[in-house]
Amino acid sequence: METDASRRSSRFNFRIRKPQGMLVRIFERLSPYRKRMAVGVVMMLIGQLLRLLFPLITREVVNNVIPNRDFALMWRLGGLLMGLTVVRLFLLYNRGMLFERVSQDTIYQLRTDLYAKLQSQSHSFYDTHRIGEIMSRMTGDLEGVRNFIMNFCQTMCEQAFMFIGALIFMGSISWLLTAVTLAAAVPLSVFAYFFNKKIRPAHAAVREQNAVLNTRTQENIAGVRVVKAFAREPYESAQFEKDNQKVRNLHMNATHIWSNFNPVMDFLSSLAVPMLLLCGGWLVERGTLDLGSLIAATGYVWVLVNPLRMLANFVNVYAQGLSSAEKLFYYLDLGTTVKDPPEIEEPPVRLGHVKLDNVTFAYREQVVLRDVSLEAKPGETVAIMGATGSGKTTLVYLLARFYDIRSGSVMVDGVDVRKQRLHDLRRSIGFVMQDTFLFSDSIRENVAFGQPGLDMDAVESAARIAQAYGFIEKLPQGWETVVGERGLGLSGGQKQRVSIARALAYDPKILVLDDATSAVDMETEADIQQGLASRNHQSTTFIIAHRISSVIHADQIIVLDDGRVAERGTHTELLEKKGLYHQMFMDQVKDFAQIGGVSAAPAADRVKGA
Ligand SMILES: Nc1ncnc2c1ncn2[C@@H]1O[C@H](COP(=O)(O)OP(=O)(O)OP(=O)(O)O)[C@@H](O)[C@H]1O
Ligand SMILES: [Mg+2]
């Protein structure tokens, strides 16, 4: 059986692609900074070259200063050593700063691109990707890539140079000693290869599980009130515990692999010193090598072996970096289904004329709207009714092209929405979504969200129409009241009214009210409708509602039934049809009549004339 946790974790099944491909892509990202990197590399090369000179100075001391008691030479060499150290430190400090800047700038750009990508994604992307996972990409995986750039690109490049430099310098002293030292490297390299094979999937698993844990944390914190209302804290805690344990175990698994390999790696690399001393001692004994050269050679052993010893560490960072890069590039590579067309056709004038022709739409496989046609002339009010799940919200989403339709056409102001610039199209529509979402910002900022910098008069007048003015003014901090996440601290009806004000504030040509007054009492709703009707500029308005009272004055009412237009007409026409609308009407009147203790028929007659 598919468990909750496995369902959450199965969302992201990244195919491990060729690592070379990822490397190339990371380097492409670094290419704008190549000049800075080149300066950093030159500084690093000179700095490390100086380091390679140190053993040669030691050789001079052993061979010339000590036997000849040449203290003048000793002072000169000591001064040289000091000078070289200062220059070296200066160069290495600057190369560190340069590389850090490069890595930070690269991540900054990656983060910017990722965010832009996320913003450009259509609704269907957010239907299938979880916020917690996205957050993991934006934090942990970006850090993984940064670490990769710093440790892999900088440190490994440096170590590779040191290795080659040490080979040459040590080789100039004795090729035999160099060969002996390198002999220790062969098993070390083989070992690092196997280590890489084991550690890479282990790191990928850690990151995956981290994303799952983030998702769970994010969902449960966001839904903490539901969890508490259903007293599900113990269950959710247990689920969290499971995911948390998995993260720990996967981390431990990676650490185990690391810890098992590392001592062997240390052992193999430290073999070089006794081997060198044995061989070097033998050469000195035979007189083919002077003592100073042997001591200098020991000064190179670690320079030679260290890069090999660190190989395991590089492999580790490399694996982590690539698995993070893989996930980031997965996002960056995503296409957007809903995007601006190559050739944009703008309506000559935006008036809010909407026309749907035989529109059929499906969420992936599930067909939700079939052959829907409707026309709303500028300034008209169209009400959409229908049972829950009949496709009302989906229908209005299509006006703003949140999704692309399967067949038919959606025209706004005479131009197919697929030909229009998305930004301009959406700017002409004021949406009051079914799920009210407010930002954790002041009420004033929330109302002015659609048009930052909107003057206070416009903000207040929108709030007046939305019947929000009164309650906002009464709040202790008034317009500056900061609402919590998603509008916490306001009642459901207050949130809806702020959300209506937000849609009205920038005077949209088309206004969509999706169940926008469901949490508002009928009297306030009537006031809102009156406010809307009294505006100077009339938007074409789509009202989705379940209450007959919300739609009674609409120019046309469309009744959807399982994605099809079942009925259309005015309130009076639809009542005469005695179809679905009439049925809804009678049901609602019956409810009122029952509450009032009168018979349904006369009550219905009274309302019919409204
Ligand atoms: N993002 C989505 N992905 C897949 N299916 C969806 C999605 N949103 C809605 N649906 C499905 O499409 C159908 C119509 O949904 P829609 O939200 O348009 O209904 P509605 O008429 O607005 O209902 P309600 O009155 O409850 O708001 C439903 O069967 C729903 O399950
Ligand atoms: Mg809906």
Q: How far is CA 33 from CA 30, 54, 72, 313, in A?
A: 6, 32, 47, 25
Q: What pLDDT, on a 0 to 100 scale, did the predictor assign at position 47? A: 93
Q: Which residue lies with its CA nearest to atom 6 of ligand 1?
A: 363
Supply the pLDDT for residue 487: 63
Assign 347 to helix, strand or coil: coil
Which one, of 9, 26, 10, 3, lies nearest residue 328 by Cα? Answer: 26
CA of 274 to the centre of ligand 1 (A): 74
For the chain, which residues make up each domain, given as ranges? Answer: 20-333, 347-428+540-569, 571-610
Q: Which atom of ligand 1 is nearest to the CA of 366?
A: 5
Q: For ligand 1, what atom is nearest to the CA of residue 515?
A: 27
Q: Helix or strand or coil: residue 375?
A: strand
3-state secondary structure of 558: strand
Closest residue by Cα to atom 10, ligand 1, is 363
Q: Is 512 in the pocket of ligand 1 (CB under 6 A)?
A: no
Mention every residue, 6+ apart, whose C-beta is less than 8 A from residue 542. Answer: 354, 376, 381, 382, 383, 384, 396, 399, 510, 511, 512, 513
* Long-range contacts (CB closer than 8 Å, 24 or more residues apart) made by 384-388: 384/542, 384/543, 384/544, 384/557, 384/558, 384/560, 385/544, 385/545, 385/546, 385/551, 385/557, 385/558, 385/559, 385/560, 385/581, 385/584, 386/559, 386/560, 386/561, 386/566, 387/561
Which atom of ligand 1 is least distant from the CA of 395?
18
Pocket test for ligand 1, best of 121, 123, 127, 392 (most atoms within 8 A of CB): 392
Amino acid identity at 442 = S
The atom of ligand 1 lying closest to the CA of 391 is 18
pLDDT band at 597; cut points 50, 70, 90: low
Strand 407-412 with 415-416, pairing:
antiparallel
563 lines ligand 1 (CB under 6 A): no
pLDDT of residue 552: 84
Residue with CA at minimum distance from ligand 1 atom 30: 389
Q: 319 C-alpha to center of ligand 2: Å?
A: 46
pLDDT score, position 24: 87
Whether 313 is in the pocket of ligand 1, judged by its Cβ within 6 Å, is no
Is the distance from CB of 436 to CB of 425 less than 8 angstroms? no
CA separation for the pair 41, 34 (Å, rounded): 10
* Alpha carbons 73 and 448: distance in angstroms, whole number: 78
Task: Determine which residue's CA is closest to atom 12 belonging to ligand 1.
Answer: 368
pLDDT in tens, 504-518: 888 899 999 998 887
Tell me if 392 CB under 6 Å of ligand 1: yes
Task: State how far the Cα of 141 lies from the Cα of 244, in Å rounded to an integer.
Answer: 18
- Atom nearest to 390 CA in ligand 1: 21
Would the CB of 368 count as within 6 Å of ligand 1? yes
Spell 540-565 as b/e; 16+ CB within 10 A means b: bbbbbbeebbbbbbbebbbbbeebeb
Q: Does the CB atom of residue 147 touch ligand 1 within 6 A?
A: no
SS3 455: coil
CA pair distance 73, 79, nearest whole angstrom: 10
Which ligand 1 atom is nearest residue 560's CA? Answer: 21
Residue 30 and residue 153 in contact, taking contact as beta carbons nearer than 8 Å: yes
Ligand 2: centre distance to CA 261 (Å): 57
- Contact (CB, 8 A) for 107 and 142: yes
Which residues sit opposite 376 in a β-bridge? Answer: 354
Distances (CA, A) of 159 to 181, 190, 308, 317, 609: 16, 18, 9, 15, 88
- Nearest protein Cα to ligand 1, atom 3: 363
Q: CB–CB of 361/355 below 8 Å? A: no
Q: Give, for ligand 1, the residue of 122, 368, 550 to mutate: max count of ligand atoms closer than 8 Å to Cβ.
A: 368
User: 393: Cβ below 6 Å to ligand 1?
Assistant: yes
Mean residue pLDDT of the chain comes to 85
Please tell me if the CB atom of residue 128 comes closer than 6 angstroms to any atom of ligand 1: no
Q: What is the DSSP letter of 520?
A: S
SS3 of residue 354 by DSSP? strand
- Closest atom, ligand 1, to C-alpha of 127: 1
CATH 1.20.1560.10 fits 20-333, yes or no: yes
126 lines ligand 1 (CB under 6 A): no
Q: Which ligand neighbours the alpha carbon of 372 most closely?
A: 1
* Cα angle for residues 553, 559, 561 (degrees, 5° grid): 165
**Residue 599 confidence (pLDDT):** 54
Cα gap 543→504, rounded to integer Å: 14
**Residue 434 near ligand 1, beta carbon < 6 Å:** yes
Could you count the other beta carbons within 10 Å of the beta carbon of residue 281?
12
Determine the average pLDDT of the residues in 447-461.
85
Read off the pLDDT band of 1 (50, 70, 90). Answer: very low
- CA nearest ligand 1 atom 24, residue: 388
| pLDDT, tens digit, 9 for 90 and up, residues 12-22 | 444 445 666 88
The CB of 369 under 6 Å from ligand 1? The reply is no
Is the pLDDT score of 6 beyond 70?
no
- Res 12: pLDDT: 42
Q: How many CA atoms lie within 13 Å of 399's alpha carbon, on the beta-carbon side?
A: 28
Residue 593: what pLDDT?
Answer: 62
What percentage of residues in the chain have a pLDDT greater than 70? 92
pLDDT of residue 403: 92
Rg over alpha carbons for the chain, rounded to the nearest Å, is 36
pLDDT at 26 over 80: yes
* 389 close to ligand 1 (CB < 6 Angstrom): yes
Answer yes or no: is pLDDT of 425 > 80: yes
Q: How far is CA 488 from CA 44, 139, 439, 452, in A?
A: 54, 26, 9, 22
Helices (H), 287-353: 291-309, 311-333
CA angle 528, 499, 469 (to 5 degrees): 55
What average pLDDT does the segment 279-305 reach? 89
In the predicted model, is pLDDT for residue 79 greater than 90? yes
Residue 452 DSSP SS3: coil
Q: What's the CA-to-centroid distance between 544 and ligand 2, angstroms? A: 8
Q: Which of 127-141, 420-434, 595-609 shows the lowest per-residue confidence on average (mean pLDDT)?
A: 595-609
The 10s digit of each residue's pLDDT in 297-315 is 988 988 888 887 777 677 7
Lowest mean pLDDT among 23-27, 504-508, 525-529: 525-529
For 347-428+540-569, CATH number? 3.40.50.300
Q: Looking at residues 419-429, what average pLDDT do you find? A: 91
pLDDT given for residue 486 in this prediction = 66
- Which of the listed residues 129, 370, 393 should we mutate to test ligand 1's pocket, taking the one with most ligand atoms within 8 A of CB? 393
* 3 state DSSP class of 190: helix
* DSSP-derived secondary structure for 90-129: HHHHHHHHHHHHHHHHHHHHHHHHHHHHHHH--HHHHHHS
Q: Which residue has the tokens 């099809």?
A: 564
Over the stretch 537-595, which tens digit does the pLDDT of each residue have?
A: 788 999 998 888 888 888 999 999 999 999 999 888 888 888 888 888 888 877 666 66
Which pLDDT score, from 0 to 100, does residue 14 have? 44
- Asked whether the beta carbons of 350 and 510 are under 8 A apart, the reply is no
What's the pLDDT at 2? Answer: 37
Is any atom of ligand 1 closer than 6 Å to the C-beta of 390?
Answer: yes
Ligand 1 centroid to 398 CA: how many Å? 13
Closest CA to ligand 1's atom 18: 391
Q: Whose CA is nearest to atom 17 of ligand 1?
A: 393
368: phi then psi, degrees, rounded to nearest 5: -115, -30
- Which DSSP category does 358 fall into? E
Is 24:83 a contact under the CB 8 Å cutoff? Answer: no
* CA of 391 relative to ligand 2 center, distance in Å: 7
- In this structure, the residue with its CA closest to atom 7 of ligand 1 is 363
| C-alpha–C-alpha distance, residues 185 and 170, integer Å | 15
Rounded alpha-carbon distances, angstroms, from residue 472 to 25, 332, 430, 480, 497: 52, 42, 21, 9, 10
Q: Tell me the DSSP string of 384-443.
A: EEESTTSSHHHHHHHHTTSS--SEEEEEETTEEGGGS-HHHHHHTEEEE-SS----SSBH
Residue 402 Cα to ligand 2 midpoint, Å, equals 14
Average pLDDT of the segment spanning 3-7: 39
Same topology, domains 20-333 and 347-428+540-569? Answer is no
* 319 CB burial (10 A radius; 0-12, 13-18, 19+): buried
Q: Which residue has the higher pLDDT, 21 or 102?
A: 102
* Digit-coded pLDDT (tens) for 382-420: 999 998 999 999 999 999 999 999 999 999 999 999 999
CA dihedral of 450, 456, 458, 459, whole degrees rounded to 10: 50
Q: Tell me the per-residue pLDDT of 176-195, one tens digit each, with 9 for 90 and over.
A: 999 988 887 778 878 877 87
